[in-house]
């Protein structure tokens, strides 16, 4: 590989590591503090935060951005291998290895861009930078392959042959790379401690209180809320604890307390849940709203019959002043509780923001015994 192309590869990968690391930082911050906003949370349609907390932002429990930082680290090593004289044994041709990696990265970039635009309907500027970087790496790799004056097909066959001749070296390199990724994922070391919610239950039990209410403020388009909703289902029924589901939609159509409509249609969804509750189907509607995310009255009405409620009555209720008044009351309650992000869970005088940790679930299950009832 020519030195200029090798240095270009290293420079592009360094930018990739920087951007991926920042997106990983945003991902981790949002896990702990849903109220956090990154520098590119600009508008309803330009927002990195909505992308990095979506279901598509993780793979096997690992942030995609962290995998990206690891990938660009490998690319830096390929660029460094291209600078070596004489060339390293593996890879036999850094240019060919770089081209293979860049092709895979470009395919992933196209898939993620389609998901962002079509499914999430939002653009992440930093993600777009990474997509452009991957295209740049592909172009650089193609020029590097051409500079070797070796046909691409033949070069790929020769590369595979080199790896077969040195299976131990190849396996060792792959193992080291994967171990490094695992170490990145499991950084931090200390075991997570239960949140203040479990401490609140312990305080109540010590003072003899046997009936507790957990207020849970949700937005049906909030990915963290979807996770918390599922986590609370893991706690089986217990008459001593009531889960009081309340609404704080990030949609200025009904909530003047939010700076911008991060989740257009969330007000309609909240009213649908309120109206379904009137027909004794609140939990069922909440499940469908989190799972399917219908954003218009027609779609919500269609699922009404599926969960066994009167569709016409639901539609009338969703558009009624009663539903709007009850939603306004929930938002006022959130203001009184100083809620600024979802999910917010409040038990007694203690509050918890964001997803529950596994330690929380275990602690609550142990102290509550058979778990909560829901209203």
pLDDT tens readout for residues 36-60 = 888 888 887 898 988 888 878 888 7
CA distance linking residue 40 with residue 38, whole number of Å: 5
Res 157 pLDDT > 80: no
CB-CB contact of 348 with 264 (8 Å): no
How many percent of the chain have pLDDT more than 90? 39
CA distance linking residue 33 with residue 184, whole number of Å: 21
If one compares 307 and 260, the residue with the highest pLDDT of the two is 307
Q: Which of 81-85, 227-231, 296-300, 316-320 has the lowest mean pLDDT?
A: 81-85
pLDDT of residue 156: 74
How many percent of the chain have pLDDT more than 70? 85
Res 10 pLDDT > 50: yes
If one compares 295 and 285, the residue with the highest pLDDT of the two is 285
**Range with the largest mean pLDDT of 41-45, 108-112, 191-195, 366-370:** 108-112
What residue segments make up the domains of the chain, in order of their start? 3-185, 192-248+339-375, 263-337
Q: Which of 20-24, 297-301, 323-327, 358-362 has the lowest mean pLDDT?
A: 358-362
CB-CB contact of 302 with 272 (8 Å): no
Token duo for residue 65: 């951005």
If one compares 366 and 89, the residue with the highest pLDDT of the two is 366
Token duo for residue 190: 């200390």
Token pair 């990724």: residue: 181
Q: Sheet with 212-218: list strands edge to edge.
A: 350-353, 344-347, 212-218, 241-247, 373-374
Q: If you average pLDDT over every residue of the chain, what do you get?
A: 83
Residue 371: pLDDT band with limits 50, 70, 90: very low
pLDDT of residue 239: 67
Q: Which of 66-80, 190-204, 225-239, 276-290 has the lowest mean pLDDT?
A: 190-204
Give 189: exposed, middle or buried? Use CB within 10 Å, 0-12, 13-18, 19+: exposed
pLDDT of residue 188: 46
Residue 189: pLDDT band with limits 50, 70, 90: very low
Res 127 pLDDT > 50: yes
pLDDT of residue 72: 94
Residue 369: pLDDT band with limits 50, 70, 90: low
pTM of the model: 0.68
pLDDT of residue 8: 95
Token pair 């004489």: residue: 86
If one compares 286 and 1, the residue with the highest pLDDT of the two is 286
Instruction: Confirm whether 3-185 and 192-248+339-375 share one CATH topology.
Output: no
Q: How many residues does the chain have?
A: 375
Q: What is the mean pLDDT of residues 87-99?
A: 74
CB-CB contact of 195 with 346 (8 Å): no
CA distance linking residue 149 with residue 305, whole number of Å: 66
If one compares 62 and 186, the residue with the highest pLDDT of the two is 62
Res 25 pLDDT > 70: yes
If one compares 280 and 294, the residue with the highest pLDDT of the two is 280
Element (H, E) at 359: helix 358-368
pLDDT of residue 22: 95
pLDDT of residue 353: 86
Instruction: Report CA dihedral (348, 354, 355, 356) to the nearest 10 degrees.
Output: -30
Residue 218: pLDDT band with limits 50, 70, 90: very high
What residue ranges in the chain does DSSP mark as E strands?
58-59, 62-63, 212-218, 241-247, 344-347, 350-353, 373-374
pLDDT of residue 180: 65
**Range with the largest mean pLDDT of 70-84, 157-171, 353-367:** 70-84
If one compares 168 and 337, the residue with the highest pLDDT of the two is 337
Residue 23's contacts (CB-CB under 8 Å, 6 or more residues apart) are: 48, 52, 63, 65, 68, 126, 127
Res 303 pLDDT > 60: yes
CA-based radius of gyration for the chain: 26
Residue 327: pLDDT band with limits 50, 70, 90: very high
Token duo for residue 70: 């690891």
Q: Does the structural domain 192-248+339-375 have CATH classification 3.40.30?
A: yes
Query: What fold is seen in the domain 3-185?
Result: de novo design (two linked rop proteins) (1.20.1440)
Q: What's 178-246 look like in SS3?
A: HHHHHHHHCCCCCCCCCCHHHHHHHHHHHCCCCCEEEEEEECCCCHHHHHHHHHHHCCCCCCCEEEEEE
Closest to 223 measured CA to CA, from 13, 34, 72, 374: 34
């Amino acid at each position: 590989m020519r030195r200029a192309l090798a240095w270009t590869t290293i420079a592009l990968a360094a930018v990739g590591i920087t951007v991926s690391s920042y997106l990983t930082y945003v991902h981790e911050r949002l896990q702990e503090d849903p109220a956090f906003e990154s520098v590119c949370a600009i508008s309803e349609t330009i927002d990195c935060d909505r992308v990095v907390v979506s279901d598509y932002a993780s793979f096997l429990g690992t942030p995609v951005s962290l995998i990206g930082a690891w990938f660009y680290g490998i690319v830096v090593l390929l660029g460094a291998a291209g600078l070596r004289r004489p060339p390293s044994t593996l890879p036999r041709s850094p240019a060919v290895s770089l081209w293979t990696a860049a092709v895979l990265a470009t395919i992933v970039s196209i898939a993620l861009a389609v998901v962002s635009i079509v499914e999430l309907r939002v653009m992440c500027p930093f993600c777009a930078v990474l997509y452009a970087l991957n295209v740049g790496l592909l172009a650089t790799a193609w020029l590097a392959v051409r500079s070797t004056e070796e046909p691409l097909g033949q070069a790929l066959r020769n590369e595979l042959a080199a790896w077969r001749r040195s299976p131990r070296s190849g396996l060792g390199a792959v193992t080291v790379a994967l171990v490094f990724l695992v170490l990145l994922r499991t950084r931090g070391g200390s075991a997570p401690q239960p949140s203040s919610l479990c401490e609140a239950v312990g305080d109540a039990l010590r003072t003899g209180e046997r009936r507790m209410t957990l207020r849970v403020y949700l937005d049906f388009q909030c990915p963290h809320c979807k996770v918390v909703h599922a986590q609370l289902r893991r706690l089986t029924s217990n008459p001593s604890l009531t889960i009081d589901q309340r609404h704080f939609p990030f949609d200025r159509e009904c909530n003047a307390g939010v700076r911008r409509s991060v989740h257009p249609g969330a007000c309609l969804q909240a009213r649908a849940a309120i109206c379904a509750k009137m027909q004794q189907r609140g939990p069922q509607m909440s499940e469908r709203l989190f799972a399917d995310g219908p954003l218009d009255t027609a779609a919500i009405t269609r699922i009404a019959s599926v969960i066994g409620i009167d569709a016409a009555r639901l539609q009338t209720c969703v558009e009624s002043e009663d539903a709007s008044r009850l939603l306004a009351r929930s938002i006022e309650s959130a203001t009184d509780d100083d809620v600024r992000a979802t999910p917010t869970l409040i038990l007694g005088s203690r509050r918890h923001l964001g997803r529950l940790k596994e330690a929380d679930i275990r602690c609550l299950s142990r102290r509550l015994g058979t778990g909560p009832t829901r209203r």
